[in-house]
Chains A and B, each alone.
Chain A
Amino acid sequence: MGAPNYIELRSRSAFSFLRGASLPEHLADRAAKLGLPALAMSDRMGLYGAPRLFSSAKERGIRPIIGSELVMSDGTVLPVLVESRVGYRNLCRLLTQAHLRADKNTAAVAWEELPAFAEGLVALTGDEEGPLGRAFAKDNCRAVLDQELRRLTRIFGPGSVFVEVQRHLLRGEERRNRLLFELAKAQRVPLLATNGVAHAEANGREVLDVFTCLRHHTHLDAAGAVLTANSERHLKSAEEMAALFADHPPALANTVRLADRLQFSLDDLGYEFPRYPVGPGETMPQVLREITYIGARKRYGASIPQKTVDLLEKELALISKLKFDGYFLIVADLMRFCRENGIMAQGRGSAANSAVCYCLGITIVDPARFNVLFERFLSEGRKDWPDIDIDLPSGDCREKVIQEVYQRYGKHGAAMTGVLITYRGRSSAREIGKALNFPVDILDRFSNLFAHGDYHDTMDLSERMAQAGLEKTHPRAGAFSSLYRRLARLPRHLGQHPGGMIICQDELSSFMPLENATMPGRVVAQWDKDDCDDLGIVKVDLLGLGMMSALQDTVALSNARGRPVDLAHLPEYDQASFELIQKADTIGVFQIESRAQMATLPRMKPNCFYDLVIEVAIIRPGPIQGDLAHPFLRRRMGEEPVTYYDPLLEPILKRTLGIPLFQEQMLEIAMKMAGFSGAEAEDLRKAMSFHRSDERMERAVTKLRAAMELRKVNPETIGKIVKAVGSFALYGFPESHAISFAYLAYSSVYLKVHRAPEFYCALLNNQPMGFYSSATLIKDAKRRHVAVRPVCLARSEWKCTVEKDGSLRLGFRQVEGLRENHVQLMLEQRAVKAFVSVEDLKARTRFSKDELRTLAEIGALNAVAPHRRAALWETERTQRVDELFNGSTTAEPSMPLQPMDAVERLKADYSGLRLTTGPHPMALIRDRLPDVWVASALAGAEDGQFVRIAGQVICRQRPGTAKGVCFVSLEDETGIANAIVSAKLFETERLKITTEPFLIVNGIAQNRHNTIHIKALKIERLPYASLETANSHDFQ
């Protein structure tokens, strides 16, 4: 076989958003199978899919060529391909310029600005949307086409324009092609055959048609000729293309010639991390060493342990060798900014494996103490940047740090990484359903039935659709299922990553196109964090954690109340805190408050900090699916002996009783058993966490297996290790990460025990966060003997506060519909002089009538009125004209309204606050439920006893690891009862469980290891309309 005489230079992937139907990986794969040596991909107004084409093409042994389709200001579409790094930079800058001046999805390039960016780019004349195609359709005038082609040649230069011809087997297209052949010949512009690929294989046309419908806001029955006429826009082999263009061989040969010219690779990006400014005569390694040792002396005192010194030396040498000094210095500088501005910040991720990071104050984990694996963070032979994630208090504090980064590096020098939103779940079903012209009520029902994040593997798609009203025999049911499967994971739109920032030494827009985020003041890159990672672009994750805010606020409140607490120096073992953890009394505590965590705590009985590290890591999909969690717990309780896969692994696995729970352990196992180097182990980790590619994982496992076999490891041991690696691939959890999280968990438990009012106050002020609603947190606070006082005109502030007697006073921020500026004005007025009546309040504030009504209704005005209704009566009163002028108030007969009763107060509280400081709704109907057990009494239930529980649903969960089982938490006035609903019962009672705010569950008590669950047999609605509800935590 001779050299291939065709290369596809024009393809669009699904990253052209609704204009292409295949992922870049799919295109690369198909091209490789067809024997094409290279493939060019040019997506619409961006390079969104370029990194993925780049890595997948390289893996498949074909050469990726990148380009983009430029939407011009006159509506035509001009494809350009990148020839050199200069061209790449020009293209990135041009795209950035066009995007940053326009609203989202409206960017266009002006013809006038094109010449300045044309160097290093090659232009094709495009298809029917191109400048020539449009001119042909509009005028069909040779002279106009001549002018258009001359304009392109003027802009890009004579050798850098190609007349593109396509044959899609449609009648009439030859008319245009004949004109193009003549034109090319007349102007001596080379021809280029392409297939204008929009999908990898012929059947991709169906997805493309659905996308076309979505783009035109129509459905397949009405779309008519807007849809493609046939399925020919797929990747074709050189032979197929040769047959199509047998009459114009040069058009084919030119594809190879041009591809040879387009040698730019994303490897040549030339990206550099910003340099850290150092003084004259100083070098970055020197400065890093200096400040590391200053930090070490702060951490350890004058005598730094030898073990730490050894670690520091090893790390500093490697950092210097890999030229990462600037990176560490810049991150340390950012942490210093946080500290100086009173912002709590904590590094996590693999950075916590580094002693340098610990000494620089980036992390709080001392690697010398925990023996964590530095290679997980940094190893020789690694090309990519180490991963430092910084947790910050969510909200304003985090925004302040982000804006600081923008300020330091400029709008074109820093950007948030993108995050790819893909088609999946019910939104995908909804859009396909719309395109297939299904009735709206079926789509609505489908959305209602299968709530966001609900685990639904207990039913296949056709059954789910049947439940929503679409029978399996429906003529379009087959198309629906097929499209649902094929649309899965295709890009839907590009969002903004919550915290991933990328920065660079020069203009970032020279390396990747940037665009405006929906959020004002934010610029977002067209690539997601995995893309950046693949291309060696460093990112710093500035992640917002609600708990960090809560901890910061708790510390501030405690200090203000004269009960200071220093989170950096908490006692290593606090008995009261560990007792609370062992009792699973962990509502409001970081990480260990979920249902699954609370169910494990009484079995695990954490008794030291490292136990907490394991607890954080063990309730994860990885260990659970790998069947590692239960063996660990059994070993922990002494029900099973501790064994090791191999005696060699005892030092690695001893601390986790022979069970690998952490990614670091997997890497150490690979290094020990397969003789992997640090870099090879890191490759294995990447394969494990690289969620996109099963193939990559398979390759890594094969390599691991082969290496172990070579070292004559017992086949049974190999099998066990490979199985563990497989489960980690799903959701591996690094030990260093678990340690960082465990610190936060321990800190929050400690504060819950020793600074309860301040802690609950901070939690309420940072809602929404965590697992439970404000209503549940308040009930929990009360159970811990924290008095919770209602919102009060005379005492409350905007935020919740702690009063002198240690009671928690709700703030005005809890009240629905109150405007903060109105409250602030009221607070100013109150500081001048206390309010004496509702009239006084109305006169001196700007509260609207609705706001006043709400305040009166929830009892907030009881300080100036005898009761809620009296306040409401006064609120409604309008001043008479004579009163307005003489400033007096006409005396009225006595107030005629009766005070609210308990049920009315409860309703008013839930309506205005979504919570109540009064009795729990269940307390009000308790006498109507004589045969129902209260939650606190369940501890006395015997294992296997039939019980009936009832309460407000505060949480519904169906974790993916539970095989369709649903966990429902019911709260009553005494506590929380937990029910387990089998997958079968859940499907029967799905609507009741997912929609009813109050439930009665009849079932069998399971009282094991001090954990009580009710295995549901029957589920009923609790039929009292007067009960009000707070939001529950569902399926998240």
Chain B
Amino acid sequence: MFAVVSLPQFVLQAALRHEPELWKKPVALVDPTRNTPTVCDFTPAAADAGVTLHLTPTQAMARCGSVMIRHRSPARETAAMEAVIHCAYGFSPHIEATAPGVVTLDLRALSRLIDATTETLMVWANELRHALRDQGLQASVGVGPTPNLARHAARWGSGVEIINAPRAFLDGLPVAALEPSADAATILDKWGIRTVGELLALGQESLADRLGLEALALFSAASTSVTRPLHLAQPAERFEESFEFDPAIETLEPLLFILRRFVDQLCARLEFTAVVAETVCLRLQLENGQVVERPLRVPQPTREADTLFRMLSTHLESVRTEAAILSVGLTISPIQAQQRQFGLFETVLRDPQQFQETLARLAALVGSDRIGTPVREDSHRPDAFKLIPPDFENAPPASGRKTPSLLESPAIRRLRPPALAAVNSDPSNGQPLAVRCSLADGKLKVAIGPWRTSGNWWENTGWSREEWDAATLRGKVVRLVRQEAGWTIEGLVD
């Protein structure tokens, strides 16, 4: 006896798993990886509004003005599939990840189900469905004498389907149940063959003359007795959930709400596989493109949801992000209970958690935009740089821009920050005539320039500067810079 767990509309379920309220609204799922992104699945409300498969998002919006367009997310599909596998593993040690959203369980070795009645099987199957429901997934379960039959039962039955009359059940199924190749499906459709019964009535020999080996495969798939060995799967050792906010969030409450759900679901999965959490990694993707990643070591490995959630919420109280949060991800690295060891290739820092906490405190003091490793920006703007998160294992990326040795005057002492200066200039050509500043003062003997640079004109970070090299009557040689904010002295030539 075999059971199959099948998640109808798996891709959409994975996408909406953490937003169950959207199932009542018109939502169309679009696969952005295709050349022409089209609708690949949709909610019943969207179907009612006329959304169908293969529409472009624009067409879907034409049919239903309120339709919400969501993008298909392979990461979420992986996470959902892992959740299904973890749950199934709690019900049978022999499981197969048959297809996306489909897991087959071998029930033959389960003492509880040997010679079980239909009622017992129903109870067992409903327990499995409930476990999945706790993970935010709606599944149907089919039980049958072969893996294929069980799969058909799960796919085409409703809720829980236990097959007692295999032949009659199969004949009524649509041809698609046998999963013909695209070519064969097209041919059968052109022939007007809609059900497995109609297909079988064509006769194996006649069909083989037309579809070749595929005909034999289809007849085999329609068999009620042929079984196959399962490709047994082990549950992944990674426990991960993620969620994208739409729109991006700026307060803590919605973040904590979703994290609580993650922690509950992940802890349930830890329990199914009998492991505990060693580290928890929180990842926040911000609207400005920045990614905040916080690995937290669990002091005492556990799978208690309350403990883990408390740890996260305490940590989040000290986190300030510079932009709204677009998505959150939570990854738990498990270990067997009571087993823990330092990794040989762990980061060079003795205690990264401590280091991150220190950085977080510094950010709170000086602002998060002033923390990081500076790297040069590819720009004409002198001294343009940006801060990237510290990475102790890799050297900072080279800016790729060679400093042009010829362009710099010799032995200039740069002043950072530059010193503010008051400059009198010739109104006809802007040439500085006199400077007043703590570093240099008085009339200018000579002023060479200007050198002009400007950039970022396409948005409000546009800048423009004019440089002059000048010498005062007292022999001080300075680099004067005029920007929108006024004059500064940026350097002294010794």
Interface residues of A (CB under 8 A from B): 140, 169-172, 175, 205-206, 209, 220, 222, 224-225, 227, 229-232, 243, 436, 441, 444-445, 448-449, 475-476, 479, 853, 857, 869, 872-873, 876-878, 880, 892-893, 896-898, 900, 904, 908, 991-992, 994-996, 1021, 1023, 1025
Is the CB–CB distance between B191 and A872 below 8 Å?
A: yes
Is the CB–CB distance between A876 and B211 below 8 Å?
A: yes
Q: Which residues of B contact A224 (CB under 8 A)?
A: 377-379, 401
Instruction: Given the known inter-chain contacts A232-B452, A995-B59, please indicate yes or no for A892 contacting B377, CB distance below 8 A.
Output: no
Interface segment out of the listed B198-206, B226-234, B241-249, B486-494: B198-206
CA distance in complex: A441, B450 (Å):
43
A309 CB to nearest chain B CB (Å): 65
Q: Which residues of A contact B56 (CB under 8 A)?
A: 448, 995
Instruction: Given the known inter-chain contacts A991-B62, A992-B63, please indicate yes or no for A227 contacting B210, CB distance below 8 A.
Output: no
Neighbour of A172 across the interface among B50, B57, B406, CB < 8 A: B406
Is the CB–CB distance between B63 and A904 below 8 Å?
A: no
B373 CB to nearest chain A CB (Å): 19
Q: B416 near A: Cβ within 8 Å?
A: no
Of A220, A876, A877, the most chain B CB neighbours within 10 A belong to: A876
Interface residues of B (CB under 8 A from A): 37, 50, 52, 56-59, 61-63, 187, 190-193, 201-203, 206, 209-212, 377-380, 401, 404, 406-408, 429, 449-455, 457-460, 467
CA distance in complex: A994, B210 (Å):
42
CA distance in complex: A227, B454 (Å):
10
Q: Which residues of A contact B377 (CB under 8 A)?
A: 224
Is the CB–CB distance between B58 and A479 below 8 Å?
A: no
* Chain A: CB-nearest residue to B198: A896
Q: Which residues of A contact B62 (CB under 8 A)?
A: 991-992, 994-996, 1021
Is the CB–CB distance between A436 and B58 below 8 Å?
A: no
Neighbour of A225 across the interface among B193, B201, B211, B401, CB < 8 A: B401
Neighbour of B467 across the interface among A140, A171, A205, A900, CB < 8 A: A171
B430 CB to nearest chain A CB (Å): 11
Neighbour of A1021 across the interface among B50, B202, B452, B458, CB < 8 A: B50
Is the CB–CB distance between B406 and A877 below 8 Å?
A: no
B68 CB to nearest chain A CB (Å): 14
Is the CB–CB distance between A857 and B190 below 8 Å?
A: yes
Instruction: Given the known inter-chain contacts A896-B206, A900-B192, A992-B62, please indicate yes or no for A175 contacting B406, CB distance below 8 A.
Output: yes
CA distance in complex: A220, B455 (Å):
10
* Chain B: CB-nearest residue to A232: B452
* Chain A: CB-nearest residue to B193: A897
Neighbour of B206 across the interface among A205, A222, A227, A892, CB < 8 A: A892
Is the CB–CB distance between B202 and A896 below 8 Å?
A: yes
B384 CB to nearest chain A CB (Å): 9
Q: Which residues of A contact B57 (CB under 8 A)?
A: 441, 445
Neighbour of A893 across the interface among B206, B212, B467, CB < 8 A: B206
A-B residue pairs, 9 tightest by C-beta: A224-B378, A991-B62, A172-B407, A876-B210, A448-B58, A479-B458, A229-B380, A475-B459, A230-B452
Q: Which residues of B contact A206 (CB under 8 A)?
A: 457-458
Instruction: Given the known inter-chain contacts A872-B191, A995-B62, please indicate yes or no for A169 contacting B451, CB distance below 8 A.
Output: yes
Q: Which residues of B contact A445 (CB under 8 A)?
A: 57-58
CA distance in complex: A445, B62 (Å):
12
A461 CB to nearest chain B CB (Å): 16
Q: Which residues of A contact B191 (CB under 8 A)?
A: 869, 872-873, 897
Of B378, B406, B458, the most chain A CB neighbours within 10 A belong to: B458
* Chain A: CB-nearest residue to B429: A243
B75 CB to nearest chain A CB (Å): 19
* Chain A: CB-nearest residue to B71: A441
Is the CB–CB distance between B458 and A220 below 8 Å?
A: yes
CA distance in complex: A666, B190 (Å):
63
CA distance in complex: A1028, B388 (Å):
55
Q: Which residues of B contact A1025 (CB under 8 A)?
A: 52
Q: Which residues of B contact A904 (CB under 8 A)?
A: 192
CA distance in complex: A898, B61 (Å):
39
Q: Which residues of B contact A232 (CB under 8 A)?
A: 452
B163 CB to nearest chain A CB (Å): 28
A201 CB to nearest chain B CB (Å): 14
Q: Which residues of B contact A441 (CB under 8 A)?
A: 57
Is the CB–CB distance between B63 and A878 below 8 Å?
A: no
Of B187, B190, B212, B449, the most chain A CB neighbours within 10 A belong to: B190
Is the CB–CB distance between A878 and B212 below 8 Å?
A: yes
CA distance in complex: A209, B193 (Å):
60
Q: Which residues of A contact B58 (CB under 8 A)?
A: 445, 448-449, 991, 995
* Chain B: CB-nearest residue to A874: B210
Is the CB–CB distance between A171 and B407 below 8 Å?
A: yes
Instruction: Given the known inter-chain contacts A224-B377, A896-B206, please indicate yes or no for A231 contacting B459, CB distance below 8 A.
Output: no
Is the CB–CB distance between B203 and A476 below 8 Å?
A: no
Is the CB–CB distance between B203 and A170 below 8 Å?
A: no
Neighbour of B452 across the interface among A169, A880, A900, A991, CB < 8 A: A169
Q: A169-B449, A172-B406, A897-B192 are in contact. List 4 more A-B contacts (CB 8 A).
A: A140-B406, A225-B380, A877-B209, A991-B58
Instruction: Given the known inter-chain contacts A872-B190, A995-B58, please indicate yes or no for A227 contacting B380, CB distance below 8 A.
Output: yes
Neighbour of B209 across the interface among A436, A872, A878, CB < 8 A: A878
Instruction: Given the known inter-chain contacts A171-B467, A206-B458, please indicate yes or no for A230 contacting B453, CB distance below 8 A.
Output: yes
Is the CB–CB distance between A230 and B187 below 8 Å?
A: no
Question: Could you jot down 26 A-B contacts, CB within 8 Å?
Answer: A170-B451, A171-B408, A172-B404, A205-B457, A206-B458, A225-B401, A227-B380, A229-B453, A231-B452, A231-B454, A232-B452, A441-B57, A448-B58, A449-B58, A479-B459, A857-B190, A872-B187, A892-B206, A893-B206, A896-B202, A904-B192, A991-B59, A992-B62, A994-B62, A995-B59, A1021-B63
* Chain B: CB-nearest residue to A857: B190
* Chain A: CB-nearest residue to B469: A171
* Chain B: CB-nearest residue to A168: B452
A1001 CB to nearest chain B CB (Å): 15
CA distance in complex: A992, B406 (Å):
62
Q: Which residues of A contact B378 (CB under 8 A)?
A: 222, 224-225
Is the CB–CB distance between B210 and A878 below 8 Å?
A: yes
CA distance in complex: A205, B380 (Å):
15
A58 CB to nearest chain B CB (Å): 35
Is the CB–CB distance between A877 and B210 below 8 Å?
A: yes
CA distance in complex: A857, B190 (Å):
8
B71 CB to nearest chain A CB (Å): 9
Is the CB–CB distance between B407 and A896 below 8 Å?
A: no
Q: Which residues of B contact A448 (CB under 8 A)?
A: 56, 58
* Chain B: CB-nearest residue to A853: B190
B479 CB to nearest chain A CB (Å): 10
* Chain B: CB-nearest residue to A477: B459
CA distance in complex: A175, B405 (Å):
11
Q: Which residues of B contact A900 (CB under 8 A)?
A: 192
CA distance in complex: A243, B407 (Å):
22
Is the CB–CB distance between B451 and A171 below 8 Å?
A: yes
B24 CB to nearest chain A CB (Å): 21
Is the CB–CB distance between B458 and A225 below 8 Å?
A: no
A608 CB to nearest chain B CB (Å): 47
B61 CB to nearest chain A CB (Å): 6
B87 CB to nearest chain A CB (Å): 35
Q: Which residues of A contact B454 (CB under 8 A)?
A: 229-231
Q: Which residues of A contact B449 (CB under 8 A)?
A: 169
* Chain B: CB-nearest residue to A202: B454
* Chain A: CB-nearest residue to B206: A892
B483 CB to nearest chain A CB (Å): 13
Q: Which residues of A contact B52 (CB under 8 A)?
A: 1025
* Chain B: CB-nearest residue to A220: B458
Q: Which residues of A contact B452 (CB under 8 A)?
A: 169-170, 230-232
Q: Which residues of A contact B209 (CB under 8 A)?
A: 877-878, 880, 892
Q: Which residues of A contact B212 (CB under 8 A)?
A: 878
Q: Which residues of A contact B211 (CB under 8 A)?
A: 876
A900 CB to nearest chain B CB (Å): 7
Is the CB–CB distance between A436 and B458 below 8 Å?
A: yes
CA distance in complex: A994, B57 (Å):
14
CA distance in complex: A469, B193 (Å):
45
CA distance in complex: A892, B202 (Å):
11
